[in-house]
Structure 1
Amino acid sequence: MKPISLIVSAAAISKVYGHGGLYNYTIDGVEYPGHYPWLPEEGQVSIQRRWWPDPIYRADHPYLACNRGNPLATSITKLHATVRPGSEVIASYYPPLCPTSPPVPFPKTPSVPNYDEEDPPMKCSGPEYTWVHSQGPMMVYMADCQGPCDEWDGTGKRWFKIWEAGYNPKGWEGAYEYGTDKPISTKDRWWQDYVIERGDTTGAWNITIPNLKPGNYLIRHELINLEASLQFYPECAQLEVIGDGDAIPSEDYLVEFPGAYSADDPGLWMAGELYNPKVGHSIFNYTIPGPKVWDPSKA
């Protein structure tokens, strides 16, 4: 797979933590607006599943697959974006202006049942607030919907990872003190920080579609924040892969959500402890959670 560029920006915050998500996609030059969480579901036309900008705090959360987008959505989108193997899906985290007409009130209660977190629901803050988390891995998954994606709720062992990036103790290009081993508490050794600090403001995350057989697929972008606590930010969009690709991942690449992660995984257990001298200051290697990346050219 060719090198991938990623720049992340997002909406900000309730209390002191910045939250947000993926707001739109560009696929083969065609722009597809994402679901907008501060507008009613009805009337929105998008390839993206419903999502909520607050993080998911549990590795075993029942809605980890698509960030509460199904079964909680009241109106499942039917739109699928057409894409060929080798094409790029460009996902943007740059938030648009907050809606003012029609007025959308600040939600006084969470929009999801059994919400047991302390933070109040995030309110819209607009493009002046950028994504502030930088310590944690980034991953992209896909899954075969085995039919129209709007008829599948995202459960089951169908997900496979197509890209990931995490931590480099020697630093990415341009890192401070480049070439010097640093522990995982060092902010600028995370790829997420690299792209935030050294990128532009488009918030674009470019991913190349592998040589998949034709069919309907969900694509799942995920950011994990490890700094303050364990926080998952997944979003899903519906694709129709066309062309003459013929590859499919074998069973050993497939996972399900929840189930792909455990809070005590090597890449997750230290969440919230990055600044603990006996934890984050003492670890120099990082293991990205989840399955190995499926690359049909090597599988």
Structure 2
Amino acid sequence: MKFSTAFTTAASLIATASAHGGVDTYTVGSTVYQGWSPYNSASGQKSIQRQYPGYDPLLIKDLTSVNIRCNNPGVLGTGSTGTIAAGAKLTAHWKQWTHKPAAVLVYMAKCPGSCDGFAGAGQIWFKIDHAGLVSGTQNAGIWAGDAIVDKLTWTSTIPATLAPGNYLIRHELLALHQANNPQFYPECAQFEVTGAGTVAPPAAALVSFPGAYTGKEPGIAFNIDSPDAMKATTYPIPGPAVWDGTGNAPAPVEPTKPEPVPTTLVTSAAPSKPTTPSCAAVAKYGQCGGANYSGCTVCVSGTTCTKNGDYYSQCV
């Protein structure tokens, strides 16, 4: 009985890990910094990355929870810090990633001294990089997160004007494959920024985690399968504008018009008898198979259940 319980728990963890993913290394030039290994014992691990428990989006679904900051309930660093010069490139590598579509967002926060004992609380975070819809429509286009599915890496440039000091760097993937149910995947790492920069972001560019997102933003309260998503060729990335490297306040963001409420035309014609599968068809980008999966395996019209490893299949 104990063996069966342990086996089931292990299988569940493997399935969760196979379906999602997190940053596992950071590269600066020829230097590779090891990230946290969430499914290994914390004993003896030392990393520039804040430790986090796993890839389960349910852990960070509440936008008012501290978990949205670095995918942990306020756990601090383990004593390691990376080094990067202002103006240099930082490449994050994900252990694995299967979700399409997804937006990519990168934030930084200045630590008041050593980052190792700093939780990252307060209105201190500024955005240095983001990307969403690259081309095509929201429903069937190419997204920034597709590059991570294909190459598992994302490269950002540290602002050349940024004043030196200790910073937290936060990478976030925002998976949008489920209608009105986005999934957040953030991880944070500790870096010392060097160089001759002198500029700090203005207060107007700063946000807090939690606090940066309300859940009502058009890019979060988002339906990938809506009629508008079939036509829209832009995507409103949530959060502040990317900081431009100056001490000036960012330009105001134009408000996004709300989506029109769809109406249904009712006629007197007798409806034809539909033919339906024995279960509710899985929406585009939803899970349709894999070990330990017990849901519907029928995809909506126009999509096919495609295998992504033994533990995860997706309607694409």
Give the superposition deviation at 1:12.
7.4
SS state at 1:39 partner: coil
Contact 2:26–2:92 (CA<8 Å) still a contact in 1? yes
Structural mapping, 1:33-182, within 5 Å = 33-51=34-52, 52-55=54-57, 56-68=60-72, 71-72=74-75, 76-93=77-94, 95=95, 130-168=96-134, 171=135, 182=136
Q: Retained in 1: the 8 A contact 2:162–2:198?
A: yes
Shift of 1:165: 0.3
Provide the aligned C-alpha RMSD in A.
Answer: 2.2
Deviations 1:54-81 (A, max 9, x none): 122232232111110x5246xx312111
TM-score, normalised on structure 1? 0.71
User: Is residue 164–residue 198 contact of structure 2 (8 Å, CA) maintained in 1?
Assistant: yes
Contact 2:138 2:229 (8 Å CA) reproduced: yes
Q: Is the 8 A contact 2:104 2:132 kept in 1?
A: yes
For residues 111-131 of structure 1, the C-alpha deviation after alignment (integer angstroms, 9 at most, x for no partner) is: xxxxxxxxxxxxxxxxxxx41
Counterpart of 2:171 in structure 1 is 221
Match of 2:155 among 202, 206, 209: 206
* TM-score, structure 2 as length reference: 0.67
Is 1:293 aligned to 2:242, yes or no?
Answer: yes
- Residues 202, 247 of structure 2: 8 Å contact kept: no
The verdict on how the C-alpha distance between 1:196 and 1:212 changes in structure 2, with shifts beyond 3 A counting, is closer
The change in CA–CA distance for 1:26 and 1:284 in structure 2 (over 3 A counts) is closer
Distance 2:139 2:169 in 1: 30
Contact 1:58–1:231, Cα closer than 8 Å, also in 2: no
Q: What corresponds to 1:236 in structure 2? A: 188
- AA aligned opposite 1:292: A
Distance 1:83 1:72, change over 3 A: closer
Offset from partner CA, 1:108-162 (integer Å, 9 cap, x none): xxxxxxxxxxxxxxxxxxxxxx411121311100000111111111110000000
Q: Give the total of aligned pairs.
A: 230
**1:146–1:290 distance in 2 versus 1, CA, 3 Å:** same
Q: Distance in 2 between matches of 1:157 and 1:89?
A: 24
SS in 2 for 1:65: helix
Gaps of 5+ in 2: 1-12, 249-316
Q: Separation in 2 of the partners of 1:284 and 1:205?
A: 23
Secondary structure at the aligned position of 1:91 is classed as strand
User: SS of the residue aligned with 1:151?
Assistant: coil
Q: Is residue 28–residue 90 contact of structure 2 (8 Å, CA) maintained in 1?
A: yes
Q: With a CA cutoff of 8 Å and minimum separation of 6, indicate the structure with the bigger relative contact order.
A: 1
Q: CA deviation at 1:24?
A: 0.9
- How far apart are residue 42 of structure 1 and its match? 2.3
State the 1:249 CA deviation.
0.2
Shift in Å, 1:213:
0.8
- Closer, same or farther: CA 47–147 of 1 in aligned 2, 3 Å: same
Contact map agreement 1:19 1:54 (CA 8 A) in 2: yes
Q: Which aligned segments of 4 or more residues in structure 1 are displaced greater than 3 angstroms?
A: 11-15
| Deviation for aligned residue 1:231 | 0.5
Shift of 1:263: 1.1
CA deviation after TM superposition for structure 1 residue 298, in Å: 8.7
Residues 1:263 and 2:215 are matched in the alignment: yes
2:200·2:247 contact (CA, 8 Å) conserved in 1?
A: no
Structure 1 unaligned segments of length 5 or more: list them. Answer: 1-10, 96-129, 172-181
